[in-house]
Amino acid sequence: MLDGPDGCGKSSQARLLIDWLQGQGVPSVGFRDPGATVIGEKIREILLSPAHEAMTTPAEVLLYMAARVQLWAEKIKPALREGQCVVLDRWLSSTCAYQGYAGAFGMKKVIEIAQDSLERVWPDLTIILDVDLQTAAQRLKRELDRMEQKGDGYHSRVREGFLKLAEGRPDFAVVDATGSVEATHREIVTILQRRL
């Protein structure tokens, strides 16, 4: 699973990783969270629309979790049952960093809700793509969604949240994603080969 602050390049890296895995003969599939199901995509629209600026952090937590529960049931669990490698573009670590840490909801509370809601909470491997705010801002060359509009202070805490979450966890790896797309991809592949 690939995660990290907005502008870290995880969507591009997820596509490259799926291509690489398939090239190695590993049946692979990718999903974005929230999304990838009809219900998940509708929840995604609500969460990211700038029209919903009044949304509270607890509402965000519950909506993200609802989309995730649906994604697990409809897509991830069947793919794993079929022996496919699942590559995720975001997962629980995002809710921990954004709402749990930056939004002050509490990472522990986010994880408790996940434990009550999901059959499986953590992927085999979580790769955090780390970028500084300046690099991330330069990469977001489009109209920003509701989460991306939250300001530098919030996004600085998001980055800190991801790094805190990864500390001392053998199932997490942090990659410096400020370099080229190719260099970041090579680092991800190296980690994958070493860990799995």
pLDDT on residue 133: 85
Sheet holding 126-130, edge to edge: 28-32, 85-89, 2-3, 126-130, 172-176
Neighbouring CB atoms inside 10 A of 55's CB total 14
Strands 28-32 and 85-89: parallel
Q: What is the pLDDT of residues 105-147, one digit of tens each?
A: 999 999 999 999 999 999 999 999 999 988 887 877 767 777 8
Single-letter amino acid code for the residue at 113: I
CATH code linked to domain 2-195? 3.40.50.300
Backbone angles phi, psi at 129, to 5 degrees: -90, 110
168: left (phi over 0), alpha (psi -120 to 50) or beta: left
Arithmetic mean of pLDDT over the chain? 95
User: Does the predicted TM-score (pTM) go above 0.75?
Assistant: yes
Backbone angles phi, psi at 170, to 5 degrees: -70, -20
The residue to which tokens 């999901």 are assigned: 118
Please tell me what DSSP assigns to residue 41.
Answer: H
Residue 114 burial class via C-beta count within 10 angstroms: exposed 0-12, middle 13-18, buried 19 and up: buried
Q: HSE of 80 in the Cβ direction (CA atoms, 13 Å)? A: 15
Q: What is the pLDDT of residues 140-174, one digit of tens each?
A: 776 777 788 888 899 999 999 999 999 999 999 99
Per-residue pLDDT, averaged over 83-89, amounts to 98
